[in-house]
Structure 1
Amino acid sequence: QQAEQGAVASSEARFHRVFDNSPTSKALVGLDGRILEPNREFCQLLGRAKEWLVLTRLGELIDPQDLAKLDEPWQRIVAGEQDALVIEVRLVTPGNGALWSELSVSALRNERGVTEQLVVFVRDITERRRRQQQLQRYQATLEQQVAQRTEELARSQETLQAIADNIPVLIAHIGTHLEYRFNNAVYRQIFGVEPTQLKGRKVQEVLPADVYQQLLPCFQKALAGERVEADNVRYSLDDPRIWHATYVPDIRNGKVEGFFVMSLDVTERKRKEKTLLDQATLDPLTGLPNRAALHEELDFALKQRAAFALFFIDLDGFKQVNDQHGHEAGDAVLQAAAGRMLAIMRADDMVARLAGDEFVVIAQAVANQASARDIARKLCDVLSAPVAVEGVEVVVGASIGVYLNLSGHDPQSAEEALALADKAMYEAKRGGRNRFRLVGD
């Protein structure tokens, strides 16, 4: 009992350290909306001391104009009708005014399914909102320009063509039978066709077949009088650029006469968004998926009721490496461990870094204990091999806890599955280290 109590206390202490030192802003919140425990990043983001935030209602931190977004879904989560919510709100911070944030709220439920607490994640999206608003203003400006120039078409076709040709946007006017009526010079760059030769031709004759089928629903909605947008458009497999297209109905005297196409090159924006996503989901030291990505993958696997094996890995002797050779050597060991695990696992398996010297491996389609033991044994062998660090060989081992999820079992949460594997890992470590233990053995 003392050993189990000690393990629980150690696990709780580690949870609180990880929770407080997490690079993401989060807080535990009661059902009444009062903040029970904010972590350090949460306090820094809000510009408030922890003592001030504890027992403060979350609603008091939200701009009154956005508070209504939270009320109804919050009640549904508390009532057990909804698992989570994600909204964008403005948070009130001292001296800095409103801070645009993405608020993610998830329920923490007991074994009976009753919501006991809620976890609130806060992400600063001020820069993203600024880019969105900038893009919207740019889009609005383009729409205004196109509409204005189209009205002048009858008076000065040459003037309109010159203006459109010098805007770095794909612009076209398409008729009710999906025929081109007007195109700017960017069509020459994208499709290698003179704009003057496109007039009267069907859109289906110009676009690749798969692109046409992808965009046809947008065309149909535009002809029905609806303004619609299409993201991640690739006009050719040979062209790496990514486009964001807007289709605006051409309505005259209450009748749809066609629609305008404005397609903007957003390749650079997508690249930056991917960089931001990678920063949010990848561990910067090893390049492995981080805790957030692991939980998402594990939740998905559990919802699919698939057969898989979960390996909770703690490196034995890692602290001694740090103490004797320094943190740079420790980082090199972690990177080597990540590379070795990736080398022996399959492409559809996941190797993630949980925190410190703890890793988690999800091996797909593992349906029996023999296969799980074989993988665990390989992981122990590859992680116990010496690692050369600055001319010195260091040796660590691995204690591994294995949770085997077989198809048809009752679904469990990611936290429960990780807790089971974590407990088995500690049993393996107490049994002599550099070994593994299956849950239930």
Structure 2
Amino acid sequence: MITAPLPLDEDVRLHALRQLDILDTDPEEAFDRIARLAAFAFGVPIVLISLVDEDRQWFKSHHGLAACETPRSMSFCAHAVLSKRLLVVEDALDDERFADNPLVTGEPHIRFYAGAPLKLANGQVIGTLCLIDAAPRSFDANQAAMLDEFAQLVERELETRRQLLRSRTAHERDRRSLAISEARFRTVFEQTPIGKAVVDLDGRFLDVNKKFTEIVGYDEATLRKRTFASVTHPADVAGDVALASELLAGRQATYAMEKRYLRPDGTPVWVSLAVSLVRDVSGAPLHFIAAVQDISSRKKSEEALRNYHVELEERVRERTVELRRSRDAMQTITDNLPALIAVVDRNLCYQFNNETFRRVFAADPSLLRGHSLRETLGTETFEALQPFFARALAGERVTCENVRYAAAPERVWCATYIPAERDGKVTGFYVMSHDVTEQRRTEQRLRESALLDPLTGLANRRALQDSLGALRASGKPYALFFIDMDGFKAINDRYGHDTGDVLLREVARRLAATVRTDDIVCRLGGDEFVVASRGVDDARTGERIAAAICLAVSKPLAMNGKLIEMSASVGVVLAGQRGATGATGANGAIGANPANAGTVASGAAPNASAALSVEAEGHALADDPLCLADAAMYEAKRAGRNTWRVAPRAEALAALDV
């Protein structure tokens, strides 16, 4: 017996066969009908639709034969698959390839065989439609042509099955994507700290989140019965409706405004409103989505500041009338105000300056009179402010909120220019410039503190999300390391929370010292940290970094004469490269668990335990590198802690039907 050698493209052929998902399936009438008709047409007792697998030939239809499969080593069909042409054996006893074949010498005592190859659309031969008889027989060209026609019927059924399978797969993928998208939208909608509302085209509330109800003071059930206009301050309704009409007309994609809602007790609440219009695939408008932030506190501050400016301006005006008769009195008053105050004529020359000019410009205020603003301010600052001077001379009160004088470039000033009038004509303008440096610094500190973890000084969750968004947008590879302290609660319980805080700060310091200076180190909260490392595109590098992290964290911490043992479990995912959300590679361990170290065997499913854990977490993990790293971290926990695990590639997840 001569066993047919494997085709050169065997791996590709087997992949095409298995993609049909047909092996070991139940009998199907479509295939059995073809087998019966072929048996009748050719007058043979046995007709098989044979699919040649790696070690066997499996029969999708087996007319006249009880067996469902036979070994590939003794298969006639394997020879037909190898040649990719019709194989006819008129008498097996006269063919040295089959004369001593167990299927010839024993049941079913094959003497005659004719097998037509079954080809897929990509040209791969996956099996045969074969005729078998226990007696030798001849087979002419007409019969060969007819057998080929029958084989084409089987091929059409296989192609139909492949198309149906592809359609089902696509439908299931779309269904899962839609479910994930809806879950994400609901999570963002409900948990965002911003008020969110979905409003229909008639202005009625369709859905609101909890934050929105807190802002406007109505519960969700009440809002669903009302329109946005009914809870808006009457003075703001027209502007809101006009901008909504612009969206519906397609003249704007979004709009933003500041407006007031009226709470049930009639109290107005100022909000910053951003609205977008959702359209269907045909472009028809569906509904509005509104995002609302309560800015009442800011409005109160602005009102207080406006009142302060109004009061100060009024005071200056009153003083000016009086000080026309007494410049010395005006000088005394203005010299004691914490602002730069000056009078400028239409030629842009100083007519008056207070004592603050001496401190800022190191110049005697009395010597500045008659000198141009350009001389004192410098050319660059003068040209930047000249448009404001022109507007003031045109009769407009204007303010420039970000003025820097060359004499004190580190300070920031807010300058107001007020037209000076006499007999109905603008004769110049008054200058009031306030030092707002500390206010700007406070605002900057507040912005920075919103992105930093107060305990460790690392980036916080919000900063991480911003950084990950930028990394994803760049399309370049990066690695995520999800780090969770082992037994941190026990340390807290034993040594106290103050010690726990010291430990967390030390871990933060070690992480920052271990990774590169341009890597992103973040504390998510509690004892969870994340490192995002740019440019890492292979599992070996990711494992090396994970090992360094485990080693750095596992060093005991000396405190108050005691050594506190600590360690961390690390989940790794490679992301950003085209076509991958994860990476295969070796699982590694150090310290307490060296037995966990190892590599993925050739031909085995990469990192199967991690992939199975990801499957248990749900399909949404496959789309989120941070979730994948989190799941891999739990695999490291289960592996004994003080170790790391690398998340699988996206194709490994697909092989597990995640």
Output the TM-score relative to the length of structure 1. 0.72
Q: Does residue 231 in structure 1 map to residue 401 in structure 2?
A: yes
- Quick check: 1:28–1:117 contact (8 Å CA) kept in 2? no
Q: Which of residues 554, 563, 569 is equivalent to 1:397?
A: 569
Deviation at 1:182, TM superposition (A): 0.8
Deviation at 1:244, TM superposition (A): 0.9
Q: Which of residues 365, 378, 382 is equivalent to 2:545?
A: 378
Secondary structure at the residue paired with 1:67? helix
Q: What amino acid sits opposite 1:378 in the alignment? A: I
- Quick check: 1:332–1:389 contact (8 Å CA) kept in 2? no
Partners of 2:219 and 2:373 in 1: CA distance: 60
Q: Which whole-Å deviations, capped at 9, do the CAs of 1:249-270 have from their partners, x for residues lacking one? A: 3344565432221011223433
Q: Does residue 161 in structure 1 map to residue 161 in structure 2?
A: no
Q: What amino acid sits opposite 2:334 in the alignment? A: A
Deviation at 1:246, TM superposition (A): 0.8
Q: Which whole-Å deviations, capped at 9, do the CAs of 1:293-344 have from their partners, x for residues lacking one? A: 5566666777xx64545655543467x6347746948766765565555556
Q: Does residue 136 in structure 1 map to residue 306 in structure 2?
A: yes
Matched residue, 1:25: 194
- Quick check: 2:273–2:291 contact (8 Å CA) kept in 1? yes
Q: What amino acid sits opposite 2:261 in the alignment? A: L
Q: What amino acid sits opposite 2:564 in the alignment? A: V
Q: 1:137 to 1:28 in 2, by over 3 A?
A: closer
Percent of paired sites with the same residue: 33
Partners of 1:332 and 1:107 in 2: CA distance: 49
Partners of 1:16 and 1:330 in 2: CA distance: 35
Q: What amino acid sits opposite 1:29 in the alignment? A: V
- Quick check: 2:197–2:212 contact (8 Å CA) kept in 1? no
Secondary structure at the residue paired with 1:123? strand
Listed as ranges, the matches of 1:31-430 within 5 Å are 31-32=200-201, 35=205, 38-53=208-223, 57-74=227-244, 84-95=254-265, 97-105=267-275, 120-152=290-322, 154-208=324-378, 210-235=380-405, 240-252=410-422, 255-278=425-448, 280-290=450-460, 306=474, 308-309=476-477, 314-316=482-484, 321-322=488-489, 325=492, 328=497, 339=509, 342-343=512-513, 351=521, 366=535, 369=537, 374=541, 378=545, 381-382=548-549, 385-386=553-554, 388=557, 392-404=564-576, 419-422=623-626, 424-425=628-629, 428=632
Q: 1:92 to 1:399 in 2, by over 3 A?
A: farther
Q: 1:106 to 1:174 in 2, by over 3 A?
A: same
Partners of 1:237 and 1:363 in 2: CA distance: 44
Q: What amino acid sits opposite 1:26 in the alignment? A: G
- Quick check: 2:231–2:262 contact (8 Å CA) kept in 1? yes
Partners of 1:359 and 1:109 in 2: CA distance: 40
- Quick check: 2:479–2:542 contact (8 Å CA) kept in 1? no
Partners of 2:634 and 2:510 in 1: CA distance: 25
- Quick check: 1:380–1:435 contact (8 Å CA) kept in 2? no
Q: 1:274 to 1:61 in 2, by over 3 A?
A: farther
Q: 1:131 to 1:421 in 2, by over 3 A?
A: same
Secondary structure at the residue paired with 1:66? helix
Partners of 2:275 and 2:630 in 1: CA distance: 31
Deviation at 1:90, TM superposition (A): 1.8
Q: What amino acid sits opposite 2:329 in the alignment? A: T
Deviates more, 1:376-385 or 1:164-173: 376-385
Partners of 2:577 and 2:205 in 1: CA distance: 35
Q: CA RMSD in A?
A: 4.9
Deviation at 1:87, TM superposition (A): 2.6
- Quick check: 2:256–2:274 contact (8 Å CA) kept in 1? yes
Partners of 1:157 and 1:205 in 2: CA distance: 24
Partners of 2:266 and 2:453 in 1: CA distance: 30
Q: What amino acid sits opposite 1:157 in the alignment? A: R
Secondary structure at the residue paired with 1:65? helix
Higher relative contact order (CA 8 A, sep 6+): 1
Partners of 1:393 and 1:325 in 2: CA distance: 12
Q: Which whole-Å deviations, capped at 9, do the CAs of 1:166-202 have from their partners, x for residues lacking one? A: 2222111122332211111111222222210110122
Partners of 1:294 and 1:162 in 2: CA distance: 54
Deviates more, 1:193-202 or 1:382-391: 382-391
Q: What amino acid sits opposite 2:194 in the alignment? A: S
Secondary structure at the residue paired with 2:418? strand
Deviation at 1:11, TM superposition (A): 9.8
Partners of 2:550 and 2:221 in 1: CA distance: 44
Partners of 1:438 and 1:101 in 2: CA distance: 46
Secondary structure at the residue paired with 1:168? coil
Q: 1:301 to 1:356 in 2, by over 3 A?
A: same
Secondary structure at the residue paired with 2:337? coil
Matched residue, 1:410: none
Q: Which whole-Å deviations, capped at 9, do the CAs of 1:374-425 have from their partners, x for residues lacking one? A: 478536742673385975333222324443278xxxxxxxxx9x95434653
Partners of 1:55 and 1:291 in 2: CA distance: 37
Secondary structure at the residue paired with 1:246? strand
Partners of 1:16 and 1:376 in 2: CA distance: 36
Deviation at 1:203, TM superposition (A): 1.9
Partners of 2:285 and 2:465 in 1: CA distance: 19
Unaligned runs of 5+ in 1: 407-415
Q: Which whole-Å deviations, capped at 9, do the CAs of 1:130-184 have from their partners, x for residues lacking one? A: 1211211221222233334444554222222222222222111122332211111
Deviates more, 1:65-74 or 1:284-293: 284-293
- Quick check: 2:537–2:577 contact (8 Å CA) kept in 1? no
Q: 1:337 to 1:247 in 2, by over 3 A?
A: farther
Partners of 2:384 and 2:457 in 1: CA distance: 34
Aligned residues: 424
Partners of 2:491 and 2:176 in 1: CA distance: 28
- Quick check: 2:194–2:211 contact (8 Å CA) kept in 1? yes
Unaligned runs of 5+ in 2: 1-168, 579-619, 638-643, 652-658
Deviation at 1:34, TM superposition (A): 5.0
- Quick check: 2:361–2:407 contact (8 Å CA) kept in 1? no
